[in-house]
Homo-oligomer: A and B are copies of this chain.
Amino acid sequence: MKAELIAVGTELLLGQIANTNGQFLAQHCAGMGIDVYFQTVVGDNPDRLKEALAIAAGRADLIICTGGLGPTQDDLTKDVLGELFGRKLVIHQPSLDTMVGFFRDRGAVMIDSNLRQALMLEGSDPLVNDTGLAVGNGLTEGDTHYILLPGPPREMKPMFLNYAIPWLRKVMTDETPLFSKMLKFTGIGESNLEHALLDMIKEQVDPTIAPYAKEGEVTIRLTTRAATQAEAYAKMAVVEAEIRRRVGEFLYAEEDVTIEQVVYRLLQEKQVTLAAAESCTGGLLADLLTTIPGSSSVFRGGVVSYSNELKASLLGVPMNLLEGEDAPGAVSSETAKAMAEGMLAIAKTDYAISVTGVAGPDPSEGKPVGLVFFAVACKNKPTEVIESRFSGNRETIKLKAAKSALYLLWVRLNG
């Protein structure tokens, strides 16, 4: 089944809000094996909405519209479809009853325009709105199925999950479902990963192999059609094994999770604690970890030692490592090691990780932009030091360095 998502709303065209409904619906369609080939955003304008609907009807079996079901004059999705299909708009009595009760309970006067929210296209199925007043619609016109959902995500999401999906399952006939598997990599760049798999990507048939990069991580998505998930995974097994053979050392998860989530789970599993001493990442590593709910159970905190003075006073890095003619300097393996070991001693954690490097835009200590040293210290074990080189602007180098620190930690935790 081919689908098209149409988001209706001038506020989207003006960029006042992002089309997060599109992402939500696209994810769920993909999960149901429905191919979304196009998404369209159109304003609260009847002619342009008609145009978008006509184009979509020519290339999709299912059209999901979000927005334009509210009480105002701008909300005209139902009116436009009614006109297009020659269907009247009729009151959905249960929705009207709910609405009348809603206003009565609040001692408020119901303005007539609210009535519009209880309208549905004649011959359509109502989709109940448990979190708002506008009723949704499911209908079939010719060969095309239409689902009309409200625009506010807190109304749209429950209506889609609880009412539109069951409606959709009824109208979706004998299609073989689509299954995807995510393989997540870090510590390797997108082009290097793709280079390692180039012949496989070029010759892919079934399952399909799609790489993409996002925020310092690379994902490979395998996709195939099968009757069950088990059958789909069996079809993917050979391809997956070959990918693992080539780049398995960088594979950190088989689901859509970040490297910080995986590190957090590992720390929890092993019941060990962590602290971080950051220079060039400037707090980003701690920020990534502390964004995970519950992270305080394993992450004790850290130091952002942006100056040599703080590296010395807080982490106990010897000043003769940092400054002086023959000193290795702040960006060096020696300083990375001293930072991690200092952090471990102060925080009394099981592990400490350090990052020191040149985030740019200018070189520092005569060292090039993108040069970064990491160290992982662990109680009663020798400290490991790793040197890396990253490309990009300041923000990108910070992000790649923070993600790499997490990757190194993940490698170390896995032994």
**From B9, B45, B389, B395, contact of A291 by CB (8 A):** B395
A283–B152 Cα distance when bound, in Å, is 23
Q: Does A210 belong to the interface (CB within 8 Å)? A: yes
Closest residue of B by beta carbon distance from A26: B15
Contact yes or no, A72 B194, CB < 8 A: yes
CB distance from A228 to the nearest CB of B (A): 21
Using a CB-CB cutoff of 8 Å, which residues 121-178 of chain A contact chain B?
Answer: 130-132, 152, 154
**From B198, B287, B301, contact of A287 by CB (8 A):** B287
CB distance from A414 to the nearest CB of B (A): 24
If A41-B39, A111-B191, A282-B291 touch, whether A392 touches B74 (CB-CB below 8 Å) is no
Interface residues on A, range: 35 or more
A337–B310 Cα distance when bound, in Å, is 21
Contact yes or no, A212 B394, CB < 8 A: no
Choose the segment among A16-24, A84-92, A236-244, A375-383 that binds chain B (4+ C-beta atoms closer than 8 Å).
A16-24
A368–B28 Cα distance when bound, in Å, is 34
If A283-B284, A283-B302, A304-B303 touch, whether A18 touches B19 (CB-CB below 8 Å) is yes
Q: Does A120 belong to the interface (CB within 8 Å)? A: no
Using a CB-CB cutoff of 8 Å, which residues 248-301 of chain A contact chain B?
Answer: 256, 275-276, 278, 281-287, 289-291, 293, 295-296, 299-301
CB distance from A245 to the nearest CB of B (A): 20
Contact yes or no, B23 A291, CB < 8 A: no
If A41-B22, A395-B154 touch, whether A191 touches B300 (CB-CB below 8 Å) is no
Closest residue of B by beta carbon distance from A313: B346
Q: Does A314 belong to the interface (CB within 8 Å)? A: yes
Q: Does A234 belong to the interface (CB within 8 Å)? A: no
Q: Does A318 belong to the interface (CB within 8 Å)? A: no
Which B residues are CB-close (under 8 A) to A14? 26-27, 30, 36, 180, 210, 221
Contact yes or no, A398 B290, CB < 8 A: yes
Q: Does A326 belong to the interface (CB within 8 Å)? A: no
Closest residue of B by beta carbon distance from A102: B391
Is chain A's interface secondary structure helix, strand, loop, or mixed overall?
Answer: mixed
Tallying the copies of this chain within the complex gives 2
Using a CB-CB cutoff of 8 Å, which residues 217-234 of chain A contact chain B?
Answer: 219, 221
Interface string of A31-56 (1 = CB under 8 A from B): 00000111111110100100110010
Contact yes or no, B13 A39, CB < 8 A: yes
Which B residues are CB-close (under 8 A) to A111? 191-192, 195
Contact yes or no, B283 A191, CB < 8 A: no
Which B residues are CB-close (under 8 A) to A289? 282
CB distance from A170 to the nearest CB of B (A): 23
A144–B346 Cα distance when bound, in Å, is 63
Q: Does A82 belong to the interface (CB within 8 Å)? A: no
CB distance from A66 to the nearest CB of B (A): 13
Which B residues are CB-close (under 8 A) to A131? 392-393, 396
Contact yes or no, B114 A191, CB < 8 A: yes
Contact yes or no, B73 A293, CB < 8 A: no
**From B18, B52, B300, B395, contact of A20 by CB (8 A):** B18
Contact yes or no, B30 A23, CB < 8 A: no
Which B residues are CB-close (under 8 A) to A198? 113
A256–B17 Cα distance when bound, in Å, is 12
Contact yes or no, B293 A282, CB < 8 A: no
Which B residues are CB-close (under 8 A) to A106? 370, 389, 391
Contact yes or no, B23 A37, CB < 8 A: no
Q: Does A97 belong to the interface (CB within 8 Å)? A: no
Interchain Cβ contacts under 8 Å between A and B, 18 examples: A12-B26, A13-B26, A14-B180, A15-B23, A16-B212, A37-B43, A38-B42, A71-B194, A72-B190, A74-B210, A102-B391, A111-B192, A113-B198, A131-B392, A154-B396, A281-B290, A283-B285, A286-B286
**Apart from A301-B304, A309-B347, what are 12 other A-B pairs with CB-CB below 8 Å?**
A9-B212, A15-B30, A18-B23, A19-B23, A37-B45, A39-B41, A72-B190, A113-B195, A281-B290, A283-B287, A293-B362, A302-B306
